[in-house]
Amino acid sequence: MSHQAQLTVCEWFYDACILFNAANSFKFHDYSFKFQVMVDTIASIGPSFKMSSYHQMRIYESKRQTECGATGLKIDTVFFSSFIILKLSLSIKFPYKERFLVPPLIVTSRTKFSALSMMEAHESVTTKGSKHNLDKHFDEDYKDQAKLLREFCNMSTVDKAWIFNSCNGTGSWAMFYLSQTNLLANKRTKYILSSYISKEESHSLTFQCTPFPFELVDVSTVVPSPSGSKLLIVRNGQNGSAVRLEIWSSSHMQKDIHIPVSVHGPLYTDGWFEGISWSNDEQFIAYVAEAPSSLKPMFSNFGIKEGPLDEKNINSWKGQGDWEEEWGESYSGKGKPSLFVVNIDSGDAQAVEGIPESLSVGQVVWAPLSPDDGQQTLVFVGWSDINVPHRVARKLGIKYCYNRPCSLYAVRAPAFESKEPHSKDEGRESTLVINLTGDTPSAYFPCFTPDGRFLLFLSAKSAVESGAHCATNSLHRMNWSSTGKPDLANIIDLVGAFSVSATLEGLRYKRRVPVVMHADVGSFPGLYCDSIIAKPWLSDGSTLILSSVWGSTEVLISVDVLSGKLSRISPHNSDSSWNLLAVDGGSILAVSSNPVSPPQIKYGCFLDRKENETSLEWDWQDISFPQLANSEKVKSMLSLLQFSILKIDVPDLLGNLTTGAKQPFEAIFIHSNSQDSSNKGEKESGLSPLIVVIHGGPHSVTLASYSKSLAFLASLGFSLLLVNYRGSLGFGEEALQSLPGKIGSQDVKDVLKAIDHVVNKGHADPSKIFVLGGSHGGFLTSHLIGQEPDKFVAAAVRNPVCNIASMVGTTDIPDWCYFEAYGSKGKNLYTEAPSVEHLEVFYKISPISYVSKVKSPVLFLLGAQDLRVPVSNGIQFARALKEKGVKVKIIMFPNDIHPIERPQSDFESFLNIGVWFKNHCS
């Protein structure tokens, strides 16, 4: 074979691998041309190869064109793996080093081409007699780290829990909803575990768990009834099949209700639109599901097909119809969130009437039963399709975005027993939807007090009004009259962000707790709570328990909804994060963890106040829970680590910072115990390489809680610095609002200040610093390696924001681009048609403007289905770096969205981060 022929084959083989990797996601309309050139090139190599292979490929091409059509021919992955890879790798010699590699995984994989293998393909080439293998050192690191990461992935997590009174009244039952990573199935395995809680007078208690949990196969979610006597199991239909709602008692399944797709699609179980609520008498269940899809036109050879739709008719096909707006990231392809009620006895499911078409609904709860007419009322959250504050008739992305206006509404539940038609006036009254919160721009997670006197709800008013996608929350109380109707004349702001009293259409808002613009050290920083559990009340019926971010930790707080008094009830001396699971009368079930300690179940009992004592006292006990145990190897590695929360001072050089913006921000420092050596020489010689980890948002926070991914990186011998720069949640509204309009500057300086802090303290070697971030954290990572090109050994970014000028026209949250670039005035500047001046500002504050200065090798981890930061943003930056000669590696996850959280993708992502940084340590 000639030199040129071999070179051509090498190039086409590599091209085939790229096409093969993309085959599951894209259609190649110019495939016929590519196919012809590739076949002719291969056929020219030799007669024996030409005859058998050429005809096999021609037959296959003809068959696939008949089935799929020439212009829409989708490359068959099995064909590429069995034919192209095997034929080329076994029949042709590749003597040229540094060309490409034929990894073993290609030949053994049935349908997929490893993203890692593809991106390593250009690194080396096998020679005659050598194994198709990665570099030996790299391969060993990769295998060892993969095995270690697998150990970290094995641990279960507690997602939810409920507590019910036992039949004998002497104890209670706890039901835990857990999940565990299943890498082979590429999903999280969900299961239920029950435990009996027995209490003694001395405040001691015993948890007796059932011997084994039971797995929830093909289950979307479970919801127990208020009494705990029944359990709803939701099985969302797959591939257009019916939804199944199973009603279970303690001994058997009472009902198996099948709801056809003509009524509705899958139930929403996303935690935001999700709303599944039992009626107080446990005879009905209200829930949010995807509305039936709109009818699509049917076509045939004779034009529009009349009559009923028959998708199985080979002489017709279904058209696309009108394109409809969606709620962006993670909601692509989902139907409109709509409200339904099912009658458990009859199995009949009905849509709730009267809700405007412009509303998407969620978070439904049943209101107390009206004693006057026995009518049942539903309270729900509604988001309008018409985004009034932004003056656009479109749906902006809602995932992670609390600044989307929403209101609470009340509507009568369907009367299943009534078969006779109402009079015209009766029908209008029964379907009347009432806006409960008026012009309050945000109201969500409604919750009634146990006695039904008050309706509580959270609000993101400060986020909606400022434009920040997340900001300080507020908690409100509305009177609910004894007649079972709302009292619209009295809505009280208990904890939160209203700065003045306001009278609006008869609704009176009263400020009970001052706005926390800035907080003294150790003081309540404001409410940062994103949900309320189903039964959050202590036995007094007026004390609400919540989880809320407090600096770099999450804590448990209690709120007296009558007085508005707020107290921190998780231990004040704890640097761990606490998350609320369930409330049991005067007791609380929670889970606590920190960066070096895996989750631990905690049970808190309220202690009676002593005389003249005003503070609430809680006794917290650790609960043995083997299901949360790590392997001995992981325990051993974690025992070698420790962490601390650092406070980083902020210099006010110009004297123009607000009080909140001048206060110290925080960083969580995780390091080996050995670095605490008092011997300075020994300490400097033993300093571990440092990974700076930067959260996204930017209005988010990295909590001092356990993360298997970060624990894995720390176990590899790295110290970690998790920076909560100004603009993060949990530090007051002034600090948060100090960042918009200064991204790429203030946040970059904060990260550099945090790095200097640990270096100056002798905790880090300035020559061994790495940086990692995703989303806005990727934005900062990309900025740092451009603004400080000699500071970082290597970097890794996950779906990074690299060029806001290009992102603004493709993201599902273009308003974010304006607000973060321009600050408070960006909300009014936002438009779907950015001016040249706007684009210039976006470009100047983006990392792409520093691309020429970057020297550090960069690993890119990209989700091809990302609607938040479209993949083109990262690809452009990576290509620009490669053009400048910077070492770049890209791993593309074809089915992942913004978080890259599918189990296999998350695993491969952090595995490659670990290998990438370890390989650059030297």
Active site residues: 775, 866, 898
- For residue 441, whether the previous peptide bond is cis, meaning omega lies within 30 degrees of 0, is no
Q: Give dist(CA 743, CA 338) in Å, integer.
A: 38
Q: What are the DSSP calls for 9-43, one per residue?
A: HHHHHHHHHHHHHHTTT---TTHHHHHHHHHHHHH
Closest CA to 714 of 750, 736, 685, 690: 690
Ramachandran bin of 655, using left for φ above 0, alpha for ψ from -120 to 50, beta for the remaining angles: left
SS3 annotation, 448-466: ECCCCCEEEEEECHHHHHH
**Contact between residue 483 and residue 468 where contact means Cβ atoms under 8 Å apart:** no
- If one counts every other C-beta atom within 10 angstroms of the C-beta of residue 66, the result is 9
N-terminal to C-terminal alpha carbon distance within the chain: 41
**Contact between residue 318 and residue 297 where contact means Cβ atoms under 8 Å apart:** yes
The tokens for 104 are 């073993």
What are the two backbone dihedrals, phi and then psi, of residue 301, each rounded to the nearest 5 degrees?
-65, -15
Q: What are the DSSP calls for 692-713, one per residue?
A: EEE-SSSS----SS--HHHHHH
**Contact between residue 787 and residue 799 where contact means Cβ atoms under 8 Å apart:** no
- What contacts 47, CB < 8 A, 6 or more positions away? none
The tokens for 921 are 């340590």
Q: What are the DSSP calls for 142-172, one per residue?
A: HHHHHHHHHHHHT--EEEEEEEEE-TTSSEE
- Maximum CA pair distance of the chain? 100
What are the two backbone dihedrals, phi and then psi, of residue 263, each rounded to the nearest 5 degrees?
-90, -50
Per-residue CA distances from 827 to 469, 513, 523 (Å):
11, 28, 31
- Compute and round to an integer the Cα radius of gyration of the chain: 30
Q: Give dist(CA 76, CA 830) in Å, integer.
A: 44
| Strand arrangement of the beta sheet that strand 566-568 belongs to | 543-550, 553-560, 566-568
Q: Give dist(CA 796, CA 856) in Å, integer.
A: 10
Q: Give dist(CA 356, CA 366) in Å, integer.
A: 19
For the CA atoms of 812, 818, 820, 826, the dihedral, rounded to the nearest 10 degrees, stands at -140
What are the two backbone dihedrals, phi and then psi, of residue 18, each rounded to the nearest 5 degrees?
-65, -45
Q: Give dist(CA 567, CA 868) in Å, integer.
A: 37
- What contacts 918, CB < 8 A, 6 or more positions away? 141, 145, 716
Element of type H or E holding 339 = strand 337-343
